Structure 1
Amino acid sequence: MYKKVALAIAFSPTIEALISETKRLVELFGSELILIHIGKKTDELETQLEEIIIKTGLDILNTKLIWKEGKPVHMILEACAEEKADLLIIGALKREGILTYYLGSVGRKLIRKSKCSILTLIDPRVEAERFSKVVVNGTQMEITPKVISKALKFCQIENVSQVHILNEIKLYAFRMATASKGSEDEVSNTRRKLIQDEIVYVQDILKDLDKTGLKINIKITAGKWAVELVRYCEAFKADLLILGDERGYTFIDRLFPHDLEDVLSELPCNLLIIK
């Protein structure tokens, strides 16, 4: 699925866990691995990194190490472009004293500017485990069919036990449809039809895709899609949220950064953004 995976690393307490998590995925997808560090290369840091690589069981001869100096975002993206990486993995930061996660400015900029898909890990572990509960954004956008297709392939390779595709009733459509003074039954019927339309939208995408071995549930909500995704992931106790970057598709991408901010400000789980 991914031919080249890049991992942006810093010499922080999570470096071993991030490398362990990435090693698991690289072996799962049969990918090449590129480790990227932005900072001055020293003998001490090089030795430290080699020790971590050996400790985590990575094949050091088949792992490419890239050291660059300069602005982190620019240099990381430059390295990904030069190496033709199709997935970039980064870690998120935990806000001190509060049980929520957030991305620093570097992480946010990488997510917005990266031309390849990007996976953000909020709680990497040395004893890496597979993702088991995955939520996919099924909101009607031009990129959604691609997101669902890629998500299902990812989940099949990962042997995910539960996949939930979350779509939404457009509130403006519901308000317009029920603006006239109709009976409660008429309003209820209108709501049911709108829900059914959103279910059919997802079903039409799924009908031509390979769903072998997957248990897929289509869930319809009402409200701002990004907020609802966060709420649903928390309630479902998801360990991975998959959504797409609308940039370059339609005018709706102008709204996307604001919606994305709702997700990034309080990450409910690990996040995979399909580019």
Structure 2
Amino acid sequence: MFSKIALAIAFSPRMEALLAEAKRIKSIFGAELLLIHVGEKTSESESKLQNLIEQQGLIGTDIKTLWEEGNPAKKILKVCDQNDVDLLIAGALKTEGFFKYYLGSIARKIIRKSKCSVLVLIEPMIKPEPFERVVINGTQQEQTPFVIEQGLNWCKKDKAKQVYIANEIKMYGLQMATASEGGEDEIAATRRKLISEEITYVENILKHLDKGNLKISIKITCGKWAIELARFATDVKADLLIVGDEGNLGFFHRLFPHDLEEILSDLPCNLLIVKK
């Protein structure tokens, strides 16, 4: 699934934890690890990073460090392109004094323009743990079968204990308003039909995929999609939310600048954006 992983590093208090998380994911996929730092290379910073690498037991493994100077987002994206990176790992920021996580401007630019998948970690740990509860976006889009397949592959590798696939009923309010003209029986029948159609959509994708021993539940939502997806991830205490990207036709086109800002300004959990 991922053969080359990159970690965007900054000399912050969470750098050690991010490196530990990257090591765990590197191990899961048997991947190479590329460390990218955009900023001045000094003997002090080089020594500090080398010490952290040694502490994580990464000496002698498939790991390379690149020091760059210039625009952080552009440099990180360029390095990922030049090195055929499959997955870029970055840390979210935590609002001062609040239990709230968000993406800074650099991370937002990376998410919009990255050609590789991006994993955003909200609370990296020095002793990382698997993502046990995972929500995968299953709303009807061209790339959804690929997103679900990749999501399940991740969950199998990481031995997730519970996987939820969340699908939405499109134009729910309009369809129910039309049904209301026929009375309560028609409203109930329409609602059952809409839910059944969305469940069937996901089931038809799943029947062609290797699910391993995963425990999978399908959840149907209605309302403002991005908000409902984030709310559901919060309600089930998800460790990871997996979504897809279809360039100008998919997730980001649909969400920017309003809906995605709702998620990125208050991340419900770790976020994996899967890209082809």
TM-score category by the smaller chain? over 0.9
* 1:141-220 matches, cutoff 5 A: 141-170=141-170, 172-176=171-175, 178-179=177-178, 181-220=181-220
How far apart are 1:254 and its partner, in Å? Answer: 3.0
State the distance in 1 between where 2:210 and 2:142 align: 20
How far apart are 1:256 and its partner, in Å? Answer: 3.0
Corresponding residue SS for 1:208: coil
Identify the residue that residue 229 of structure 1 maps to in structure 2: 229
Identify the residue that residue 47 of structure 2 maps to in structure 1: 47
State the distance in 2 between where 1:230 and 1:178 align: 25
**Contact 2:245 2:251 (8 Å CA) reproduced:** no
Identify the residue that residue 106 of structure 1 maps to in structure 2: 106
- TM norm structure 2: 0.95
**Contact 2:24 2:128 (8 Å CA) reproduced:** yes
State the distance in 2 between where 1:147 and 1:263 align: 19
Which digits, 9 at most, give the CA deviation of each residue in 1:234-265, with x for residues without a partner?
110000000001214x3775323233222111
1:33 matched to 2:33: yes
Identify the residue that residue 272 of structure 1 maps to in structure 2: 272
State the distance in 2 between where 1:105 and 1:221 align: 30
**Contact 2:136 2:166 (8 Å CA) reproduced:** yes
> What is the one-letter code of the residue matched to 1:36?
I
How far apart are 1:143 and its partner, in Å? Answer: 1.3
The size of the alignment, in residue pairs, is 273
How far apart are 1:149 and its partner, in Å? Answer: 0.4
State the distance in 2 between where 1:60 and 1:120 align: 27
Identify the residue that residue 64 of structure 1 maps to in structure 2: 64
Please, what is the CA RMSD of the aligned residues? Answer: 1.4
State the distance in 1 between where 2:17 and 2:236 align: 25
Corresponding residue SS for 2:182: coil
The runs of 5 or more residues in structure 2 that have no matched partner are none
1:10 matched to 2:31: no
The runs of 5 or more residues in structure 1 that have no matched partner are none
**Contact 1:246 1:256 (8 Å CA) reproduced:** no
Identity of aligned residues (%): 54
How far apart are 1:139 and its partner, in Å? Answer: 0.8
Corresponding residue SS for 2:115: coil
